[in-house]
Amino acid sequence: MDAYITREAYRFIEALSLISSLSSKNGLLIGNKVGNRYFIQKVFPSLPKFYSSLKSFFEIDRLFEGKILGFFSFNPTPEKKKRILAPFAHSKLFLEIHSSPKGKLRMKAYVIEYERDFILSPINLLNSIKEHEEMKSLNEEQKKILLNLARQAIEHYLKTEEPLKIEVKDEQLRQMRGAFVTLKFEGELRGCIGYPLPYKPLYETVIEVAISAATQDFRFKPLSLDELEKTKIEISVLTLPKTVKNIKEIKIGEHGIIVSKGPNRGLLLPQVPLEWGWDLETFLRHGCLKAGLDEDEWKKGAKIEIFSAEVFSE
């Protein structure tokens, strides 16, 4: 298991570390869990207690649309941990933070587990700033490798119904990134599936979503070997999504969008509005429709996140 923390969340914790009375600083970790990986996108400070009651916790969780990953605390004592980590927190994340007199932060991540008593199982805490938000652009050779892997993966699966198993040694291609694979047959969309969040090493993600785009996009019948020869493969490598407060932050052609409200969620890649000639409001309307929402929900409280993508094709 691994935990990742974004620039925004880390900077907020840095700001909290500058505030006096750190011994009572607690809060909630907000984000997503994908497989065995926790992605901390925001932190929310609370009172000396994390919550006043079980009921209040679930009310807060509802306000955050079920995205409370867990809890953080500055300089927690063992007694304090036992007091605040209730049994319903099983499998939640706990971030223990210590700060030195010089302001340097030291953080440890744990998963909360229960047997007869609570257990904090340590996991890796990784800085997602370099790995996801500021990852170097791929060079031409790396792009070629990924495109070849996508084509090989689809062909191999169509012939054997088995996923392609291969190792890639390039360290940049082994970093965890979200990615989408888009298939176009004679210029028309033939499939598009991906992982918005970094779930696996980039090369493994491309292999998996290429197969899914060819065989599991419900909008199309599975691709055939004959069609594959005339199919063009496009890959979009994504940055982590960031919530926008004003739609003016969205730049057509530079940003993709994720629109969500309650359980509904829809994603459109940055190249989509350019291909269709959409303006910003049309882009947002289609994002709502992709999420299964009314087209004007972006005006009525739907959450809007943006991300960038490095897009390349055969």
Domain ranges of the chain: 2-132, 139-313
Average the pLDDT over each of 28-37, 159-168, 193-202 and give the range with the smallest value: 28-37
Q: Give all strands (DSSP E) within 88-143, no chain letters.
A: 93-99, 105-114, 118-127
pLDDT exceeds cutoff 60 at 285: yes
| Class of the CATH-defined domain 2-132 | alpha beta
Average the pLDDT over each of 6-20, 78-92, 175-189, 227-241 and give the range with the smallest value: 78-92
Q: Tokens at residue 209, please?
A: 């979503």
Please calculate the CA angle 174-177-183 and round it to the nearest 5 degrees.
105
Name the more confident of 79 and 171. 171
How far apart are the C-alpha atoms of 176 and 147, rounded to whole Å? 17
| Angstrom distances, CA of residue 89 to CA of 28, 114, 166, 311 | 12, 9, 38, 40
Average the pLDDT over each of 12-26, 62-76, 194-208 and give the range with the smallest value: 12-26
Mean pLDDT, the chain, rounded, equals 84
Give this prediction's pTM: 0.62
pLDDT of residue 286: 96
Four-residue CA torsion sign, 56, 59, 61, 63: negative
How far apart are the C-alpha atoms of 89 and 113, rounded to whole Å? 8
| Class of the CATH-defined domain 139-313 | alpha beta
Q: Give all strands (DSSP E) within 52-166, no chain letters.
A: 68-74, 93-99, 105-114, 118-127
The whole-number average pLDDT for the span 149-170 is 94
Considering only CA atoms, which of 64, 58, 65 is closest in space to residue 89? 58
Average the pLDDT over each of 11-25, 134-148, 191-205 and give the range with the smallest value: 11-25
Q: How confident is the model at residue 132 (pLDDT cuts 50, 70, 90)?
A: very low
Q: What is the pLDDT of residues 28-82, one digit of tens each?
A: 888 888 777 788 888 888 755 555 566 777 777 777 777 888 888 888 777 766 6
pLDDT exceeds cutoff 50 at 133: no
